Amino acid sequence: MSHQNQIQRGEGTVVAIRGGVVDIRFSDPVPRIRDLVYVGKVALEVSALLDNGVARCMALAPVRGLGLGMPAKATGGPIRVPVGDAVLGRMLDVFGAPIDRKPPPVSETLRSIHQPAPLLEHRVVRGSVLETGIKAIDLLSPLERGGKTGLFGGAGVGKTVLITELINNTVQYHQGVSLFCGIGERSREAEELYREMGEAGVRDKTVMLFGQMNEAPGVRFLIGKTALTMAEYFRDDQHQDVLLLIDNVFRFVQAGSELSGLMGRMPSRVGYQPTLATELAELEERIASTQKAAITSVQAVYVPADDFTDPAAAHIFSHLSGSVVLSRKRASEGLYPAIDPLASSSVMLTPTVVGIRHYDIARAVRRTLAEYEELRDIIAMLGMEELSAGDRLTVARARRLERFLTQPFFTTGSFTGTTGKRVAIKDTLDGCEAILNQTRFDRNEGDYYMIGSLADLEVAA
């Protein structure tokens, strides 16, 4: 039996090392694609099989210290990670091993990180909204329960802050499990998030997985699949709703692009990997609602050079049911969260899902802000005096709406000295409706800045 085992596992030697990609020649049997292989203590995953028994593998750790001719051992199976209650409240890596200085999670169930997407007949499309308590999102691009929403923005416009605020607001009111997956982000943010979750008292309902910026591209490429494997277990086996937050999906594409070049594939448009659409679909299609429960996902998406026609951004767009676009212009005006009300959208914003009143108010807000946008050039050149009375009214309403849609966040309270506000959808709608119906303005537009509901104005007065 031990002899049989030995043969099944296969042994080989390293014949080439190129960056994060290592070629290993195996004597019979050659491992399968996606099998885990070890060279010393360095883990690798088989990505392609070449001729003469050579397996091309991506390294899941720095390849420093590896040399040609070193012996390699195949494990005979893919990466398996612990799933279930044992991982709750933990900070783990791509192998499900702890990075929070606590003992490894002990789980009776280990799952391969490569799982197929649920079959079409098992999927369910429920048209229900997940309330976030963030005015601009709930009003203009409501999140779909069991759907995928993208937070699009360039560097430094507040994607991560918005994600942490969503965690804070939804985890406390959300009955299921929350999973945070950090792909290629700064280590500092991971440490801050871990601390904040502890302070908010929601860490024991959350799993945190990280493949950081400084790790091998193979780790950044696979960490999303580890996160989904854990999420699928909560959905399918424990019938719990899962809130999956990913920061940042673009880094997943980037890691695939790094590996693709080293694997020797021909680059495609703008130098991306030719397999971009397939790799992204493999990850995104696993996020779905089944008859058992739903996985709702919010994904931050870095947009290279603020160019929304970039192939990575365009492909990610095609998988989403809602998109929240963050604008650099609004961030520079101090309107936080810097959500662009005219570019953000959601399939949930229809009268049948959110109700006719919400739909009408959202349309009126958009229309008012769009008219103000058109009048801005005239105001800049000729001043407010040249506008008609009707246009002046539109500008006054639009400027108040812009400020009313800002909001103090819980997660930034320590920097700004303000306490955060969570605003119910009803209060958001009432506030916007009141501003849209005003013809005389007793208050300065500045009074509407960084408040919760309109009731806060009365308190301040």
Cα 150 to Cα 136, 250, 294, 301, 308: the distances in Å are 14, 11, 17, 6, 13
Peptide bond into 82 cis (omega under 30): no
Among this protein's residues, is 159 annotated catalytic? yes
Instruction: Identify whether the C-beta of residue 79 lies closer than 8 Å to the C-beta of residue 36.
Output: yes
Question: Is 195 an active-site residue?
Answer: no
Catalytic pick from 131, 185, 215, 232?
185
Angle 25-26-28 from CA coordinates, rounded to 5° = 150
What is the phi/psi pair of residue 103, to 5°? -65, 155
Per the annotation, the verdict on 18 as an active-site residue is: no
The count of C-alpha atoms lying within 13 angstroms of the C-alpha of 177, restricted to the half-sphere facing its C-beta, is 30
What stretch of H or E contains 183? strand 177-183
Q: Answer whether 247's CB lies under 8 Å from 193's CB.
A: no
Residue reference for tokens 């070629």? 23
**Which contacts qualify for 265-272: CB closer than 8 Å, 24 or more apart?**
268/311, 269/311, 270/310, 270/311, 272/311, 272/312
Tell the burial category of 353 from Cβ atoms under 10 Å away from its Cβ (0-12, 13-18, 19+): middle
Residue-by-residue DSSP string for 54-119? EEEEEESS--TT--TT-EEEE-SS--EEE-SGGGTT-EE-TTS-BSSSSPPP--S-EEES--PPPP
Please enumerate in sequence order all residues whose Cβ is within 8 A of that of 382, keeping only pairs 6 or more positions apart, or say none. none
**Cα–Cα–Cα angle for 458, 169, 317, rounded to 5 degrees:** 115
DSSP notation for 129-182 = EE--S-HHHHHHSPEETTSEEEEEE-TTSSHHHHHHHHHHHHHHH-SSEEEEEE
Residue 348 has what DSSP assignment?
A: T
How far, in Å, CA of 122 to CA of 300, rounded? 27
Per annotation, catalytic residue among 186, 265, 328, 367: 186
State yes or no: cis peptide before 337, omega within 30 of 0.
yes
- Quick one: which H or E segment has residue 36? strand 36-39
Candidates 56, 135, 145, 159; catalytic one: 159
Catalytic center residues: 159, 185-186
